[in-house]
């Protein structure tokens, strides 16, 4: 019985240590005087601020067409002072049937699929001028910092989604976004 209690204490101590390390890491991720959109936790949709100075959630700067009535309206591609780009948008299913072929959106990495399930983890930004490709950012458990839980997209539905990437150099003002099974589109980067 003593070994069981020791094991439980060790597990609890490990969980507390990991939680403290995560909190410390998140608190050290920039503290500008400007209001900055914080990355959403894996599996959680990004919170949208509809206040003044924010791009309208309804105005698309680019639309990516997918299969069977699926589309993704990109509403912002904002570079933050913290060194990342957050791409936000609205995923729509305009068809009369549910869409379940979302697995390719996670990309080919098995570790990402295991960590996050069906997500937008396979998205990339391509900087043609610098000839570089930027993959979605990952947390310490290899979960991509993107919208997750995209197993089935209900018919005639829409939902807010986000993806975060490392920021290209300041000299790069536009990038191509690529998501498996969607048509690519060019995005103009703005400062958050």
Whole-prediction pTM value? 0.70
Write down the pLDDT at residue 119: 95
Bridge partners, 13 (sequence order)? none
What's the N-to-C CA distance of the chain in angstroms?
55
What would the DSSP string read from start to end of 52-114?
Answer: TTSPPTT--SEEEE-STTEEEEEEEEEE-TTSEEEEEEEEEE-SSS-B---GGGG-S-HHHHH
Q: Are 142 and 112 in contact (CB under 8 A)?
A: yes
Task: Kindly list the structural domains of the chain, giving each domain's residue range(s) and its CATH number in brackets, ordered by start.
Answer: 42-191 (2.60.40)
Write down the pLDDT at residue 39: 46
Write down the pLDDT at residue 94: 96
The rounded distance, in Å, linking the Cα atoms of 86 and 26 is: 16
Q: Are 93 and 99 in contact (CB under 8 A)?
A: yes
Tens of each residue's pLDDT in the chain, 192 residues: 455 555 555 555 454 454 444 444 444 444 444 344 444 444 444 333 333 334 445 699 999 999 999 999 999 999 999 999 999 999 999 999 999 999 999 999 888 888 889 999 999 999 999 999 999 999 998 899 999 999 999 999 999 999 999 999 999 999 999 999 999 999 999 998
Tokens standing for 34? 């400007």
Nearest CA-CA partner of 164 in 98, 77, 106, 94: 77
Write down the pLDDT at residue 73: 98
């Amino acid at each position: 019985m003593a070994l069981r209690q020791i094991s439980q204490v060790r597990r609890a101590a490990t969980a507390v240590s990991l939680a403290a390390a995560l909190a410390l890491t998140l608190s050290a991720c920039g503290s500008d005087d400007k209001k900055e959109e914080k990355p959403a936790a894996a599996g959680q949709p990004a919170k949208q601020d509809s206040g003044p100075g924010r791009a309208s959630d309804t105005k698309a700067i680019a639309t990516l067409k997918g299969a069977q009535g699926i589309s993704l309206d990109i509403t912002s591609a904002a570079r933050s002072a913290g060194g990342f780009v957050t791409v936000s948008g609205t995923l729509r299913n305009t068809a009369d049937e549910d869409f379940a072929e979302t697995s390719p959106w996670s990309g080919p990495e098995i570790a990402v699929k295991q960590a996050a399930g069906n997500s937008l983890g396979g998205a990339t930004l391509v900087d043609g001028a610098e000839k570089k490709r930027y993959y979605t950012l990952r947390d310490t458990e290899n979960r991509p910092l993107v919208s997750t839980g995209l197993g089935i997209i209900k018919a005639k539905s829409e939902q807010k989604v986000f993806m975060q990437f490392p920021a290209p150099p300041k000299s790069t003002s536009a990038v191509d976004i690529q998501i498996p099974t969607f048509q690519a589109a060019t995005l103009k980067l703005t400062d958050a």
